[in-house]
Structure 1
Amino acid sequence: MTNSAASDHLSDIDLYCQSVISGTRPACKWERLAVERHLNDLQRQNTDGFPYVFDLDKAQRIINFGELFPHVKGKWAAQVGAANRIKLEPWQKFNFAMIFGWVHAQSGLRRFRIVYLCVPRKNAKSVKASIVGLYMLVEDGEYCAEVYCGATTERQAWEVFRPAQKMAAKKASYRRRYGVSSHAKRLECDQVGRDGNGRVVCQPDGGRFEPVIGKPGDGASPSCAILDEVHEHPDDTLYDTMITGMGAREQPLLLMITTAGSNIAGPCFSSQREVERMLEGEENDELYGMIYTVDDPETEWMTDIGIEKANPNVGISVGWDYLRARVKDAMRSPRKRSIVLTKHFNVWVTAKNAWLNMLDWNRAADQTLSVDDFISEKACLGLDLSETDDLTADVKCFRREIDGQDHYYFFGRYYTTEAKVREHDHYGEWVRTGHLLECDGETIDYTQVEENIEEDAEQFSIPQCFYDPHGAAHLAQRLSQLHDIEPVKVGQTYTNFSAPMREFERLLKAGRIHHDGNPCLAWMFGNVVAKETEDGKMMRPVKESRESKIDGAVAALLAFIGAFEPSDDDQDFDDFLRDPIII
């Protein structure tokens, strides 16, 4: 690659950064913060407390390398000559330069070991991942490199590896220079290293690049792990396996490349939140992340600005007409809206047909809220006791008047069993952070639940307990007999829940619902699907699958039924509240 071409790469990256910062290029909050992080780091490179530098040669080398390969799918794959060659866009060059250009000032080893890229569909994710895999196989300086495309299904594992295999097959000079041979299920490398003049030195190597479903075999030592569509991973098993296997490598790289999804209890959402905290200022020098999405998921996705923010390759690998058509589909069909938002705008929507917009729920969180701020105040208690071996919830709802309007505050306890914690990684994390209570053994300790409610009754005024009759009747009666809390039975019917759910959603959007940000409750609210009657006039809460628990959300809605006081324009709900005890 000529010096002119190299300088063009640097110019493209500089212009990209300037356009993002100036607003010339429509960019979401996270893209702007990622660019600002790089520019700020340039000012402090190789200073006390920040031992990293931006190596221009290494930043350009991966770009030069990637642009030597041909396209293997899409309209460009049918072209010949230079028209068939991959041409990276400035936003792609920026990401490659960040991952491979930032190094330790003394050792020269890569700064970033974990990379999270959240990019919508049709924005050339497989091209980026393939270039990284092919580069890490031969240019990383690791003897016997091991590069894995990890996924939970065979189809997904091949989504990255197959394009890389085709790219290698179409580039004879790559195979010849590095001694790469292609087999049915892997690429192998028989050369590694360079002499003092920078020339490739031939020697036995045994490096390999292959797809992996689940865990790699015993003895695996990944130098690079590419995890595609991480939002589909149910737990951290594959991530943890790759990370722990990298211990013997000098500068391993774990690349997560994904769209948004619907499982906020999974490892993908957790990784995204970690990236968001890092971009907002939390120190993490070994993590690089970029998220392409919209700033306002309520309306921005319906605009061309929103399309451009979330889809950096629009007009190139994905057409404007295609995305505008998807937007129209989403506007016409609520069922398609969640799919379009997740796949083309990287908006997390939790349940695929979730009742609430979880961004509204997240905005209602206030980490400074404490139930101790409501000592001696009146609370309504909602109680949902499900199966004896799974989640149980009791939630208190307080009402306060602010500027002439009622606001509602929710605090809950959520219980699970020791056995369930072993089955679900996200349960274990919530137990460790105190957001979920673990009962010993394999059944819920209802005595513990009762004792905690008894303690609440001593600190707060709890005249009534609204409960789901399925499983909670016995405890409700004990609360009445022993603790003077009146039990109010509310079955999960359309009649009982339709009006409260509509009012709850309205007040949430109006900023009159408040909670303490418990992630366990957020997960359960995200799992709630509003099942409607055929005419669409009534609804009740249900879940999409057995694993999608909603007990805490139901308990919160039960507490809301008891706490809500309609204003003059809430006459329909007022009529309902006159007789809520309907089974």
Structure 2
Amino acid sequence: MTSTTSQATGSRKRKARKVTRAVLAKKVPEAVLGHVSTIYALDVVEGKIPACKLRIAACQRHLDDLVYGPKRGLYFSIPRADHAIRFFGYLRHSTGKWGGQVFELANWQAFCTAVMFGWLWESTQKRRFRMAYIEVPRKNGKSTFLSPIGLYMMVADGEPGAQVYAAATKADQAKIVFDEAAKMARTSPVLRKRVRERAHHMEHPKSFSVFKYISADGKRLDGLNSHCNIIDEVHAHPNRLLIDVLRTGTGAREQPLTVEITTAGADPHSICREHHDYTVNVLKGLFENDGWFGFICSIDPGDDPFDEISWKKANPNYGISVFADGLKAEFKEAEDNPSALASKMRLYLNVWSQTSEIWLDIEKWRACETVYDRASMRGRRCYIGLDFGAVSDITALVLVFPPVDPGEPVKIMPFFWVPFGTIEKRRVDQAVPYDVWLRDGLIFQTEGTATNYDAIEHFIIGDDAGNTGLINEFEVMEVDYDRYFAGQLIQHLEERDVLCVACGQGFVSMAAPCRELERLVLEGSIAHDGNPVMDWMIANTAVKMDDSGNMRPIKPDTRKDMRKIDGVVAMLMALGRMISAEEDSNVISYEPGSMFG
């Protein structure tokens, strides 16, 4: 299979306008507008409940789907949502200050329950969400929230022979959720008549369903046919083995559910960090996955960890099981001992350790999306940035068009190549939808498992198959590339009289284009076509500064292997050369007598 020379645009879904209360009032039934899930989502989005941007994004996603979801075959079933919520009312807390009291869901727990169980596919009446990733700080009721979900999936979900597993790295940890569920079943007047408790599992004889606990150190992990997987403290898993076994064990079920709940971790290469990053991309709209539910509570970059408003933003159970006095004591210790601050922020504010801060605000970048016709750009002057990946990596080519008229934005046009033989492995190993991007024409494939530079060369200069090439479509001023790449492709371009300029990747070379890109994005003076691959790379890019404040793009500390920034690097090289060339063209040269005749 070879690359093509046209970029698909028709299949790409444009980002929906954010739904507001006024829009909902016109578009959804009054019962939906007054449902606990909608009320909570609106309170978070409108700022009535302090929340970080990711929690706001989770709530906004629910509101957006109430209006736009039906176009994708989705609908929100109040009876199904309320059925799950009511089940909690049959249970009682077993320990602590609420011991013996009826389980009453906190507003965020009711929201998550309603969304996980209320959204259905209209065509099948089956649940939309098969995977849920929930990340909150300590003491926010994680384990006691999981136990009822497991009981519901065993007793009340209508699945014959349901197998429910509470999972952890160690058997003792796995038993925490299981034992809490057993206590709830034992003290419930309704469930104790219907559930039998055994030494190592529970049974629901009427449906032939079971609830067991399982751990990574167990002897037998194969042969599972799970309907529900409950995984607590995912950040503690040293590898992906148990989680992958559990998720692949749901294949024979029509509407399985895996629920992961955790506090932020410290390992940037863990399965937990992979699922965190994927969830962030789903919540930001960078990845489209209607089967993945995400809910993350933390603070935002720049928030003061010692401020009470930050504590409220990060802790959804603030005032219920998390209190100001306790957090004051914890952060007082951190104030006196700065080395403890990172640990306190991870445990009590859900901030991942060892992370580099992302550079550009993805929402400001996306606000620069402009629909423009490629045909209208033909013949325009442009600079090509070309960032070559490793042997089997992504190659990015970005065209940067200088403004022609006053007030016109700088325009960019990105293209990407990936070896076809690596696409499936990338999709599985890196949790990035390369296969979807390929299907939608957002990336091109080249033959084999290594980068095929011939396909990229033909894309630029044309070939005998009728591809005209970029140099015939636009006025290509130069091709700008990493100076450490001196391959045959550059030699072939130069033989065709294409000016190729080697660019450095250090602070000196990247400082000016980094500053310019920052300015363009903040002022809305750059236009792009909303390519999801480029959006993803923007969201992956951090910067490193030298002592003089000069910047260069880098990958964040976390999951460097899956966070690609090639498109940003290519854009910066072309932007830097464009700045230099445009400045040179504006220099007034001195000619004797030319000024005054």
- TM-score w.r.t. structure 1 length? 0.69
Amino acid in structure 1 at the alignment position of 2:490? A
Contact preservation (8 Å) 1:102, 1:112: yes
Alignment correspondent of 2:377: 374
Alignment correspondent of 2:392: 389
Pair 1:504-2:517 in alignment: yes
Contact preservation (8 Å) 1:99, 1:288: no
Cα distance in structure 1, aligned partners of 2:370 and 2:347: 27
Structure 1 residues 383, 276: CA separation in 2 closer, same or farther (over 3 Å shift)?
closer
Which among 572, 575, 580 is matched to residue 557 of structure 1? 572
Query: What does 1:339-378 align with in structure 2 at a 5 Å threshold?
Result: 344=349, 352-360=355-363, 362-364=365-367, 366=369, 368-378=371-381
Structure 1 residues 25, 190: CA separation in 2 closer, same or farther (over 3 Å shift)?
closer
Cα distance in structure 2, aligned partners of 1:58 and 1:182: 30
Alignment correspondent of 2:130: 114
Alignment correspondent of 1:70: 94
Structure 1 window deviating more from structure 2 (304-313 vs 262-271): it is 262-271
Which among 133, 136, 148 is matched to residue 153 of structure 2? 136
Cα distance in structure 2, aligned partners of 1:206 and 1:223: 10
Structure 1 residues 244, 559: CA separation in 2 closer, same or farther (over 3 Å shift)?
same
Deviations 1:268-316 (A, max 9, x none): 65566667779xxx997xx695646699867799976665455321233
Contact preservation (8 Å) 1:393, 1:555: yes
Q: What SS is found at the alignment partner of 1:409?
A: strand
Q: Which has the higher contact order (CA 8 A, sep 6+)?
A: 2
Alignment correspondent of 1:578: none
Alignment correspondent of 2:451: 444
Structure 1 residues 34, 328: CA separation in 2 closer, same or farther (over 3 Å shift)?
farther
Q: What SS is found at the alignment partner of 2:214?
A: strand
Which among 488, 491, 495 is matched to residue 481 of structure 1? 495
Pair 1:422-2:424 in alignment: yes
Q: Where in structure 2 are there 5+ consecutive unaligned residues? A: 1-33, 462-468, 588-597
Shift of 1:247: 5.7
Structure 1 residues 307, 449: CA separation in 2 closer, same or farther (over 3 Å shift)?
same
Pair 1:468-2:482 in alignment: yes
Cα distance in structure 1, aligned partners of 2:528 and 2:239: 27
Shift of 1:479: 1.7
Deviations 1:337-380 (A, max 9, x none): 9996999479x99x931451342564255262454332111111
Q: What SS is found at the alignment partner of 2:567?
A: helix
Cα distance in structure 2, aligned partners of 1:142 and 1:479: 62
Contact preservation (8 Å) 1:466, 1:562: yes
Cα distance in structure 2, aligned partners of 1:485 and 1:365: 31
Shift of 1:99: 4.6
Contact preservation (8 Å) 1:386, 1:471: no
Contact preservation (8 Å) 1:360, 1:508: no
Alignment correspondent of 1:199: none
Cα distance in structure 2, aligned partners of 1:412 and 1:233: 38
Alignment correspondent of 1:198: none
Deviations 1:407-460 (A, max 9, x none): 322222222223322321033333222222221113222121111112111111
Pair 1:222-2:226 in alignment: yes
Structure 1 residues 90, 374: CA separation in 2 closer, same or farther (over 3 Å shift)?
same
Shift of 1:113: 4.7
Pair 1:125-2:142 in alignment: yes
Query: What does 1:190-229 align with in structure 2 at a 5 Å threshold?
Result: 190-193=203-206, 207-211=211-215, 217-226=221-230
Query: What does 1:238-277 align with in structure 2 at a 5 Å threshold?
Result: 245-246=249-250, 248-249=252-253, 252-257=256-261
Deviations 1:244-264 (A, max 9, x none): 754654653343546789899
Query: What does 1:305-320 align with in structure 2 at a 5 Å threshold?
Result: 308-320=312-324
Shift of 1:87: 5.0
Contact preservation (8 Å) 2:165, 2:211: no
Alignment correspondent of 1:197: none
Alignment correspondent of 2:439: 432
Structure 1 residues 138, 411: CA separation in 2 closer, same or farther (over 3 Å shift)?
same
Alignment correspondent of 1:201: none
Shift of 1:193: 2.0
Structure 1 residues 104, 385: CA separation in 2 closer, same or farther (over 3 Å shift)?
closer
Cα distance in structure 2, aligned partners of 1:233 and 1:519: 31
Pair 1:519-2:521 in alignment: no
Q: Where in structure 1 are there 5+ consecutive unaligned residues? A: 1-9, 195-203, 575-583
Cα distance in structure 2, aligned partners of 1:213 and 1:370: 57
Aligned residue pairs, count: 518
Alignment correspondent of 2:108: 91
Deviations 1:201-259 (A, max 9, x none): xxx76553434699x95542211123567899999998897677546546533435467
Cα distance in structure 2, aligned partners of 1:235 and 1:323: 32
Structure 1 residues 546, 16: CA separation in 2 closer, same or farther (over 3 Å shift)?
closer
Which among 409, 412, 415 is matched to residue 410 of structure 1? 412
Contact preservation (8 Å) 1:292, 1:309: no
Q: What SS is found at the alignment partner of 2:144?
A: helix
Shift of 1:524: 3.5
* Identity level (%): 29
Pair 1:538-2:550 in alignment: yes
Question: What is the alpha-carbon root mean square deviation over aligned residues?
Answer: 5.4
Q: What SS is found at the alignment partner of 1:471?
A: coil
Shift of 1:558: 0.6
Shift of 1:167: 1.6
Cα distance in structure 2, aligned partners of 1:472 and 1:343: 50
Alignment correspondent of 2:508: 495
Alignment correspondent of 2:460: 453
Cα distance in structure 2, aligned partners of 1:316 and 1:523: 37
Structure 1 residues 506, 441: CA separation in 2 closer, same or farther (over 3 Å shift)?
same
- TM-score w.r.t. structure 2 length? 0.67
Structure 1 residues 514, 447: CA separation in 2 closer, same or farther (over 3 Å shift)?
same
Cα distance in structure 2, aligned partners of 1:234 and 1:417: 31
Cα distance in structure 1, aligned partners of 2:534 and 2:261: 28
Contact preservation (8 Å) 2:130, 2:255: no
Q: What SS is found at the alignment partner of 2:570?
A: helix
Amino acid in structure 1 at the alignment position of 2:257? L
Contact preservation (8 Å) 1:34, 1:289: no
Amino acid in structure 1 at the alignment position of 2:436? E
Cα distance in structure 2, aligned partners of 1:288 and 1:542: 29
Structure 1 residues 540, 56: CA separation in 2 closer, same or farther (over 3 Å shift)?
closer
